A and B are shown apart, each in its own frame.
Chain A
């Protein structure tokens, strides 16, 4: 009888040890499995959201003021700025002034103020025939104004205007060149 009880105890211990071995094996195998690779590209530092084919439209009283398109927009929540690349901005003019298409290598869109810094090879071209170019231009939303402190060149049918520092009011298409102005008017518009 005593031997029978010892045998039962032995079987119980064996069962416990076997169960522990099975659990240990399962845990060990789970740890050996390789974690799946991330399917999305890691975002650069200071970028909270990255958007491709970004498009933003600014309206006032139901009327489009301007549209901003970019190949890519990286949003930094802390600075509240979207860093844009491959930028196109279309400014809709009031009173039949036509559209002004502005392109730039890159840009910075401030979500709070809605100001836009257009940086690198900035060129504007209107469907009325005039245009401008500058290395960098800021769009000041509160004043509907394109502004630069650098050398700017404006062309129109029959005229070429250059100056350092420009203020270009997009709703009236009035502009100022602030210093060192030179202009050429060709008679006959050629």
Chain B
């Protein structure tokens, strides 16, 4: 039992620690490409649609629709919300889900809609995957129908490597 818990903790750390780079990246410019853009001055939102690709530092997000919310006198990005076929890639790590929210102020990424984190051959799934960027930790939450599942390969080639 202790071994399973240790393995799970290791996997979670490995599977999501890659996004720790986000802590260093969140002052990097956020660059977005898409087919179309709609802005709403009242709501302070910019909605990118169609083959959206967003890059910040070495992290790249792909999705169908991305809503950037900004606020304050300097128009700081306060939230980035992705809808549909969300895929976050950093080096060999990849997180997917139907919906994702990045909150730069709280340095937190929340993925839901069958979220999955894949690092090499290791896979974690649950109802919601939340990654706290500054603490470099993640919480995988189970739901009534979606239990947390982890597939780990202790002897795999990624052991000891920081995903």
In whole Å, how far is A177's beta carbon from the nearest beta carbon of chain B?
A: 4
Check B41 against A187 for contact (C-beta < 8 Å): no
B74 CB contacts on chain A under 8 angstroms: 157-158, 188-189
Cβ of B91 under 8 Å from chain A? no
Surface stretch bound by A, among B24-32, B131-139, B151-159? B24-32
Cβ of B23 under 8 Å from chain A? no
In whole Å, how far is A155's beta carbon from the nearest beta carbon of chain B?
A: 11
A180 nearest CB neighbor, chain B only: B35
Interface residues on A, range: 20 to 34
B76 CB contacts on chain A under 8 angstroms: 158, 187-189
Cβ of A181 under 8 Å from chain B? yes
Alpha-carbon separation in the docked complex, A21 to B130 (Å)? 116
Cβ of B36 under 8 Å from chain A? yes
| Chain A contact residues: helix, strand, loop or mixed | strand
Q: Could you give, for residues 142-186 of chain A, a 1 whenever the CB lies within 8 Å of some chain B CB and a 0 otherwise?
A: 000000000000001111010100000000111111111111111
In whole Å, how far is B76's beta carbon from the nearest beta carbon of chain A?
A: 6
Alpha-carbon separation in the docked complex, A184 to B28 (Å)? 10
A158-B75, A183-B48 are known; give 20 further A-B pairs, CB within 8 A.
A157-B73, A158-B74, A158-B76, A159-B75, A161-B37, A172-B41, A175-B38, A177-B37, A178-B36, A179-B35, A181-B32, A181-B33, A181-B36, A182-B32, A183-B32, A184-B29, A185-B30, A187-B27, A187-B30, A189-B73
